[in-house]
Structure 1
């Protein structure tokens, strides 16, 4: 029997929010154990760090250039020839997705045999004035209907009064803990273990919406953090500290000076949501042991992108900085099926497009030619090939209005070019992991900056936007979230 494969994905979790990664406050005992049962990749990135483009790379194993998703845009159909679920299905696996998909149409299976869906608050399904949508919240969200079956009144996802994209406003969950979407997802996943076809191995994707806002942890978890001395956000010498427009007072701000106590409550709730997820992962791992399948399952834990959480007076995601783009990535092998070197940290730079080839490789399934990612399994073998050649860097980007950018990083240094303004930044991530000092004009780094700039020029020279002529970077070209081939 081939191994079962479990992909646990969370939404908007920073890479540094793990006990095993050295966070001074966040407690993640079950994720720590998964890392001890496998490998923690310290330089894992979302090349395009927001939900839609990140998940496109996870499902297809392709770069953002090939998926055509170089920014955030809803309601663009997902028409990809090869997906990770489809490959597992064709190989005889029972495939199931539970939780967030964030695809279009919203109920597209994308190769899974079945999807039990909770995408959170999907605006194009929710807005009451949008009568032309082909879907609605009632048929798109299984969690919302499940909750309404158990409660009286017209309960909704917005009852707490917190916006689904606020990274600064928080309050505890107001209902029983078992009704929280995090617990619901785990309950549904355990039920899959009961209902699955026992004659087949399974590929299960558990996709939690949290710690993405709203920041609404149950009180038991919020109480763990609310009175602690929480770490202050990192503020670089390049950060904008002038907030004359008082943008930080907005409940859904992306930048600005947020009142201190409001920010501390948001931090506490964000960390609490992570610990809640960790406990629920522990609950599911216990269920796997009860069903006798834990030792025959390969487990990969990852987030689609991070959260700035006030670093450099910035919030949310989509940015090239570590809080936004660096993601937790753990590959666990409890039963020693892959002959991994366990309880280790891997420094090679990887990205979300590596998930599909990694999991197919773990199951000994052929990897389609369309896949551009690489299996990370050779990096964690007990007998690692000394001649193994890994990638030199990854290319990241995101359209974001005047903040649209392109970047190059190998996890040890990072070059950023803002495509609309021409502004450049360079960070030495070994000496300055919190990106406190922009070194773009420091002579000592001139050669390294030139190398990274040239790499970006070559990455962009064939792109439709005209960012590069093959010799230099050309700023001010129109940036769009979706390339033409994905729209056709």
Structure 2
């Protein structure tokens, strides 16, 4: 059954990738990465150039998407597995309540892993999660074979196959090698294959909400050889290294395959960067494959599309890797909206510079679906910023002035505030502060925290952070100043029930 644009409510397609940097789009000016399908979505849609993940790791980022809440409210201010997800109001739940057929394919990263979170069905592949694989986990409440749909599918085609066959850890940001099986068996292809199958199986009498959630370009860096070939001989720019970054690697942390920091041997780093970019182009082509299938089913012009990532990948910036830290490579994400049927009146080709965050996805998609937005939601709908009437007009839509981000992570626990033009960072355990003028120093090469011309702005942002942290259970402030050394928590107490 084919839908037409006259259908009262549009389908909703949310595409998320895992660990993709904000700058890895051709249309954003990246000198190496090729993303033709995402470029086309942006060229005929709207790209938000200042989109952030306020708590940039997998679990808290997904909590923001599911609930539309800030990290202070959804309670996940760091990364911690096996904390139950008991949110009453969720994006898929509200869309299901509004009459949508809801489906997730790919990564959810909730607990218990099989929680539907409001979806009618989930075809699950969270990737390699250590807490589901390690037999010494106590208690062993979920066996890995019970919480993954990709591996049983793969083993039907390749008996005995496993996620560790390549010898790459799921957090190996500096080691890469090509995928060893036919491309159609890659997890990225599987996600699209299962999503296309949903188009066949869906209820034709309802609009659908499909969350197509990819694990890549999160490690392991294992692109199909054809995609790695695109970048093997390319002149890949070296990562930026700020004047504040560690210049020596005394402990030789950079030699570890799962390092978060350090000086990595140049050949290894270049290979990892090439593989990371190759995974993104592979994703892009598979997204194009799904969009083609959506068109063949007659649904493309009746579907509102949002594309983003849960967080970025530092990829050697400042000799840092992976995510969680407050720097642009980690916290700044791509964010594209597209409406082929022009239901929402988007200003096609607009690059919007307002500060958006993952919590804004839920109210935006509910508004597009004509569904009520629960009072629990703290994000804002983005459509006014993207519309042909209002989009691009400064002050036309009331919007947030800044974003508070954070991540609990031992000695690296940090809080930051930004308006997309300036950024103030406070490391809560050491008291170290940093300030970056992003308009003139987009790569965060110079820490201007002691520069006289910026002192007024630094004092302003410090006071903003004090206000954001007032009343927090960790005791980060007394309302007048920031207090270093207070014990950070990955999960706030109000959701530990």
Give, in angstroms, the shift of residue 223 of structure 1: 0.4
Aligned match for 1:259, one of 250, 265, 283: 265
Partner of 1:285: 291
1:305-320 aligned within 5 A: 305-320=311-326
For residues 459 and 265 of structure 2, the distance between their equivalents in structure 1, rounded to whole angstroms, comes to: 40
Q: 2:232, 2:267 → 1: CA distance?
A: 10
1:17 alignment counterpart: 24
More displaced stretch, 97-106 vs 36-45: 36-45
When normalised by structure 2's length, the TM-score is: 0.97
| Matched position secondary structure for 2:354 | coil
CA shift digits 1:190-214 (9 cap, x unpaired): 0000110000000000000000000
> Please, which runs of 5 or more residues in structure 2 have no aligned partner?
1-7
Give the CA deviation at 1:337. Answer: 0.6
- Deviation sequence 1:14-64 (CA, Å, 0-9, x none): 000000000000000000000012110010000000000000000000000
Q: How does 1:382-397 map to 2 (within 5 A)?
A: 382-384=388-390, 387-397=396-406
Q: What is the aligned counterpart of 1:29 among 26, 36, 53?
A: 36
1:173-252 to 2 correspondences below 5 Å: 173-252=179-258
1:93 aligns with 2:117: no
Q: 2:73 aligns with which of 44, 47, 66?
A: 66
* Residue 105, structure 1, aligned to residue 133, structure 2: no
Whole-angstrom CA distance in 2 between matches of 1:402 and 1:253: 16
Gaps of 5+ in 1: none
Cα distance in 2 between the residues matched to 1:465 and 1:130: 28
- Secondary structure of the residue that 1:346 maps to in structure 2? strand
Q: Distance in 2 between matches of 1:136 and 1:278?
A: 32
Tell me which of 439, 445, 458 is aligned to 2:467.
Answer: 458
Displacement after TM superposition at 1:129 (Å): 2.7
Is 1:476 aligned with 2:482? no
| Whole-angstrom distance in 2 between the partners of 1:119 and 1:381 | 35
For the pair 1:128 / 2:135, whether they are aligned, the reply is: yes
1:125: Cα distance to partner? 1.2
Tell me how far apart the structure 1 counterparts of residues 58 and 419 of structure 2 sit (CA, whole Å).
22
Tell me the equivalent position of 2:438.
429
Q: Which is further off, 377-386 or 318-327? A: 377-386
Q: What's 2:4 paired with?
A: none
1:140 positional shift: 0.6
| Cα separation, 2, equivalents of 1:405 and 1:122 | 24
How far did residue 148 of structure 1 move? 0.3
Cα shift at 1:131: 6.4
Q: What does residue 439 of structure 1 align with?
A: 448
- Residue 370 of structure 1, aligned match among 354, 358, 376: 376
For the residue of structure 2 that corresponds to 1:66, the secondary structure is helix
What is the SS of the residue equivalent to 1:216?
coil
Which residue number in structure 2 is paired with residue 144 of structure 1?
A: 151
Count of aligned positions = 487
1:411 is aligned to: 420
Query: Residues 227-282 of structure 1: CA distance to partner in whole angstroms, max 9, x if unpaired?
Result: 11101000000000110110000010100000000000000000000000000000
Helix, strand or coil: the match of 1:42? strand
Q: Distance in 1 between matches of 2:145 and 2:138?
A: 14
